[in-house]
Structure 1
């Protein structure tokens, strides 16, 4: 475990829309749990088709208004593609990757058979249609997937896990190799046109920044098993995790960036103070 007395946390939003109350809660939680350590801001902008400079500027403005501060310069994932490529090359050298030409419609058709079609943390469980393809056959329109069964065989592990200080603290959360294979499947590590994926970039960047406590919503709890597996394969330190509650609307639905009415800037323009916004999210 790579956590100690002094904590380093991060808030890593994507500049694809306005920050809302859920983001405010996540950022403030990360900053408070870092105290007296260090809180970092990271911009996750690998999806260049959706990211906008104006939303990135708004992220800085909203967080400053909430009273947060962080070291400069800010890490931006669009500047980190060589690091992600190096991680992919290392996994490919282990014989653990394969190119996948399947589109969503292809996967949906393959999963229409009885007892198929399970949904995991990375979406529908991939049926392995392209698993026999070699990386030498990879083309520009292919995604790159991890052969999960081979990954566990290489590690010699029968399970993978992590520790969470918010969910059953003191207890290790484990998932067996067979449950991972059946319930998660061969995850995408490089999406078409991106050169990476959330799962790969987040663990590479957390290690590069020396993050010791990863704070994020409980909706990403199951994804952490993927990150634990990748950390083990790439010999990266595993941080401690804190999966916090989600901020929901009156109907119990998790807030999304389309909820402009709950955007931080809307509350600012309405005259609320940062303390009052903290109160809205129970802080």
Structure 2
């Protein structure tokens, strides 16, 4: 028995020694890394980031502010173009951008956004989008119907929303509502106006509120009037609101799971889709 205990004790001591050796080697390695960090800062010109990619589709009328959203996400100082009476834009715009959250727990992290902006309801445009979605942008993480918060939704927009809710329940998880031109409003004004819209007696039967289920974002941009009439107070007021709304939206996107997406092969009737 004593011989067995002696052998067992020896094995325990060997294990303890090996564990201590591992800790010591790890300590030495960490010390070595710390000592060479400054050298790394001087010599290593290329910082490596963890990356996740999200594909977003913005749809809505021409001139509604879809491209402006992409520009503001890329640069909060972006100044929107003056509004026009007529927009002749039938092209599909694909805007790739990358964002890094400097306050994130993991600094070596970057989120890549592929933003596809579409014009609304044209057969030629629909064909282009179908090709793009089927061949070029096959994994969709985020669909958004974009509206101008400063203008009433017209009949075409209401009909588009009705069609989406009625025919695309399978997209509900990935479908959102974005209101642009919100840089001159506060959160109370936005929520009151949105509540009024959802509670409109004529629209309640279409269940817009249930479909979007608070999946609604507000965004804005610096107005072009600041170029012709610079005003520090107005600039700061708009910029503060823009940054707050932009941060909310980017925080949401940064927390999306890149493996949770919609693929057109999930349904067989995509070619009959008239959503765009």
Q: TM-score range by the shorter chain?
A: under 0.3
Which structure is higher in helix share? 2
Q: TM-score, normalised by structure 2?
A: 0.28
| Greater Rg by CA | 2
Q: TM-score, normalised by structure 1?
A: 0.27
